[in-house]
């Protein structure tokens, strides 16, 4: 359930962040750099205090491994915010960035050699069509760029719009590549979202020196904005918007980093895509941005592709199956309680029978129903037992099983033995069953499990039991020996066990230094030794 909370905070933080961002860019479209600096500075200060502990805590992941991510993260953040200065409206900005799902899949196929099923490919086509429709519909409402020395002209405005689209495309591909690199980094060094969030921001701060002139100009513009009167003091409204944007950006980014530790990069991109369309609806309703019929058609395509990608029908089916299983367990609990009630009422039913009560018949019917349920549950338990990875003594039946059992039946049944229908002879007599089964166990050197004793009700069942071959290998080992395994299936029967004294991969560093690794299985204790770790005398 932790990932559901992360998804909620992603929607809350990121949607609020876009709201404040549009408040800022509606007044000053070129304020992307000062917005990015404020966000990075806040997260760096917070991380230095709580994550880095004022410089006393060392990083778990080497800093050099972060450098590629830092450069990519800085470029993506600056380009995405600065693209608003090139005729890009906020709705188009959000719709176009929703194509990150497509970029992530394309790079996953090219770089990681991933393969997806037909349903996922079709969903991506739907999302692509929807984004293209929305982009073309938004191109008819081009904003005037905020570029020094620019002369207003329809053709020139369109060229600036194309530059903005190219910037968003570049940031889109770079962001997808950053997600793949980050996923690989987590697989190698473990998942440390708080550390990654801190270092990706603090290591980027020196790069803002190259944007000093633009940032200083916008500081002057922000100071000159209309003051907003608070309880004890007043503050320029643009700085107030910037504070709101910064705080919500922290909630958004931290939630995304936590989400990357819970899900794969493609799933994270899917969540962010849905969040962007939620922000789009807010932008249309509150800021009254134009949204035509073509925009709605494109939105329907995107949402249809998103639902298709998540395979919502299969999720509903899985939930229904889980509910049925839970109801089955609940029914068995009620059935067991009814058995206890039935046992306590048998004495009362027998007493009432002396006076001709009709409740004895009802009690008998209930008992038969419970007996049937017990029999059904017993069969289910035996089926589960056959799928366990347990070891049994190997048994290979001889070729004359039926003849040997037939001779033993002649001795056990005596005059009651019928050679023509001897397979149908009942084993209801405990003495005959005990003598016959004892002879079979001694002859075939193969014991009968307790769970199977109740199943052997006649000679035919006994012949069937001793005609069945048993292997001393478990189902996993049987699968491993099959020659026609799929190429993408690899079975490792030799488990990789961590032993601090012999480990070379982690240099003997143990994640659980005080936890013993005890092998309790009698079979595997011959193969693997237990590891008992020394506990320190003094513990924190």
Encode pLDDT of 168-206 as tens digits: 889 888 988 888 888 888 777 877 777 888 888 899 899
Q: Which helix (H) or strand (E) holds 228?
A: strand 227-229
Q: Which residues of 4-33 are buried (b: 16+ CB within 10 A; e: fewer)?
A: eebbebbbebbbbbbbbbbbbbeebbbbbb
Domain containing residue 457: 400-467
Q: Report whether pLDDT(21) > 70.
A: yes
Q: What phi and psi values does residue 458 have, to the nearest 5 degrees?
A: -150, 180
CB 184 within 8 A of CB 178: no
107 & 227 share domain: yes
Taking CB atoms within 8 Å and a gap of at least 24, the contacts of 453-460 are 454/378, 456/427, 457/426, 457/427, 457/428, 458/423, 458/424, 458/425, 458/426, 458/427, 459/405, 459/409, 459/422, 459/423, 459/424, 459/425, 459/427, 460/423, 460/424
State both tokens at 318: 């899985």
Select the more confidently predicted residue: 272 or 469: 469
Select the more confidently predicted residue: 223 or 280: 223
The verdict on residue 531 lying in a domain is: no
State both tokens at 383: 């089926």
Pairwise CA distance, residues 343 & 173, whole Å: 70
pLDDT tens across 102-146, in order?
A: 788 888 888 877 778 888 888 888 888 887 887 777 666 665 555
- The count of domains in the chain is 2
The verdict on residue 512 lying in a domain is: no
**What is the chain's mean pLDDT, rounded?**
77
Pairwise CA distance, residues 301 & 295, whole Å: 10
Q: For a pLDDT cut of 70, what percent of the chain falls above it?
A: 77
End residue of a domain, out of 316, 347, 380? 316
State both tokens at 27: 């007044």
pTM of the complete model: 0.51
Lowest mean pLDDT among 55-64, 168-177, 528-537: 528-537
The verdict on residue 311 lying in a domain is: yes
The verdict on residue 518 lying in a domain is: no
Which pLDDT score, from 0 to 100, does residue 349 have?
Answer: 44
State both tokens at 223: 């100071």
The verdict on residue 250 lying in a domain is: yes
State both tokens at 463: 């012949």
Give the CA radius of gyration of the chain.
36
State both tokens at 54: 């004022």
Pairwise CA distance, residues 538 & 237, whole Å: 56
End residue of a domain, out of 414, 436, 467? 467
Beta bridge partners of 517: 531
Q: Report whether pLDDT(516) > 60.
A: yes
The verdict on residue 104 lying in a domain is: yes
Burial class of 333 by CB neighbour count within 10 A (0 to 12, 13 to 18, 19+): exposed
Q: Which helix (H) or strand (E) holds 235?
A: strand 234-236
End residue of a domain, out of 289, 316, 343? 316
93 & 221 share domain: yes
CATH code assigned at 456? 1.10.1200.10
Which pLDDT score, from 0 to 100, does residue 358 have?
Answer: 47
The verdict on residue 474 lying in a domain is: no
Greatest Cα-to-Cα distance within the chain, rounded to the nearest angstrom: 118
Residue 283 CB neighbours (<10 A)? 22
pLDDT tens across 366-414, in order?
A: 455 444 444 444 444 444 444 444 556 788 888 888 888 988 888 888 8
DSSP 3-state assignment of 534? coil
Q: Report whether pLDDT(348) > 80.
A: no
Q: Which residues of 34-53 are buried (b: 16+ CB within 10 A; e: fewer)?
A: bbbbbbbebbbebbeeebbe
Lowest mean pLDDT among 115-124, 335-344, 372-381, 531-540: 372-381
Q: What is the DSSP letter of 515?
A: -
pLDDT tens across 306-317, in order?
A: 767 766 566 656
Which residues, including other chains, have CB under 8 Å from residue 228's CB and lie 6 or more apart? 234, 235, 236, 237, 240
Q: Report whether pLDDT(522) > 90.
A: no
Q: Report whether pLDDT(27) > 80.
A: yes
């Amino acid at each position: 359930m932790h990932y559901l909370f992360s998804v909620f905070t992603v929607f809350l933080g990121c949607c609020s962040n876009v709201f404040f961002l549009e408040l800022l860019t509606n007044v000053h479209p070129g304020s992307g750099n000062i917005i990015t600096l404020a966000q990075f500075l806040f997260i760096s200060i917070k991380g230095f205090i709580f994550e880095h502990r004022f410089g006393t805590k060392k990083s778990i992941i080497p800093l050099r491994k972060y450098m590629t991510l830092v450069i990519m993260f800085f470029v993506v953040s600056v380009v995405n915010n600065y693209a608003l200065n090139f005729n890009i409206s906020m709705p188009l900005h959000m719709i176009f960035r929703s194509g990150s799902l497509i970029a992530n899949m394309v790079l996953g196929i090219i770089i990681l050699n991933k393969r997806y099923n037909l349903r996922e490919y079709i969903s991506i086509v739907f999302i692509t069509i929807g984004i293209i429709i929305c982009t073309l519909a938004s191109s008819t409402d081009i904003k005037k760029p905020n570029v020094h020395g620019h002369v207003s002209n329809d053709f020139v405005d369109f060229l600036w719009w194309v530059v903005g689209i190219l910037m968003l495309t570049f940031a889109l591909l770079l962001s997808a590549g950053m997600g793949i690199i980050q996923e690989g980094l987590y697989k190698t060094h473990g998942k440390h979202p708080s550390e990654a969030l801190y270092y990706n921001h603090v290591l980027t701060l020196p790069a803002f020196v190259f944007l000093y002139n633009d940032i200083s100009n916008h500081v002057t513009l922000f100071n000159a904005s209309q003051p907003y009167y608070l309880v004890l003091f007043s503050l320029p409204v643009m700085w107030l918007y910037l504070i709101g944007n910064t705080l919500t950006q922290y909630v958004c980014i931290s939630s995304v980093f936590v989400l990357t530790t819970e899900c794969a990069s493609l799933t994270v991109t899917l969540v962010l895509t849905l969040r962007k369309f939620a922000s789009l609806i807010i932008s249309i309703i509150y800021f009254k941005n134009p949204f035509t019929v073509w925009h709605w058609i494109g939105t329907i395509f995107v949402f249809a592709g998103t639902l298709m990608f998540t395979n919502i029908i299969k999720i509903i089916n899985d939930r229904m199956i889980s509910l049925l299983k839970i109801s089955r367990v609940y029914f068995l609990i009620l059935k067991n309680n009814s058995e206890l009630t039935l046992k306590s009422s048998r004495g009362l039913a027998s007493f009432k029978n002396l006076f001709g009560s009709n409740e004895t018949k009802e009690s008998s019917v209930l008992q038969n129903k419970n007996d049937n349920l017990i029999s059904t549950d017993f069969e289910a338990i035996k089926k589960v037992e056959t799928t366990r990875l347990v070891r049994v003594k190997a048994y290979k039946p001889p070729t004359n099983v039926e003849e040997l059992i037939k001779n033993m039946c002649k001795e056990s049944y005596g005059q009651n033995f019928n050679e023509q229908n001897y397979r149908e002879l009942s084993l209801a007599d405990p003495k005959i069953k005990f003598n016959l089964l004892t002879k079979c166990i001694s002859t075939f050197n193969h014991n009968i499990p307790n769970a199977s004793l109740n199943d052997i009700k006649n000679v035919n069942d006994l012949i069937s039991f001793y005609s069945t071959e048993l292997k001393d290998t478990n189902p996993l080992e049987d699968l491993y020996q099959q020659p026609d395994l799929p190429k993408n299936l690899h079975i490792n029967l030799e488990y990789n066990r961590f032993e601090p004294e012999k480990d070379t991969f982690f240099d003997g560093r143990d994640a659980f230094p005080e936890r013993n690794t005890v092998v309790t299985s009698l079979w595997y204790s011959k193969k693997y030794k237990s590891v008992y770790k020394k506990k320190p005398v003094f513990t924190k």
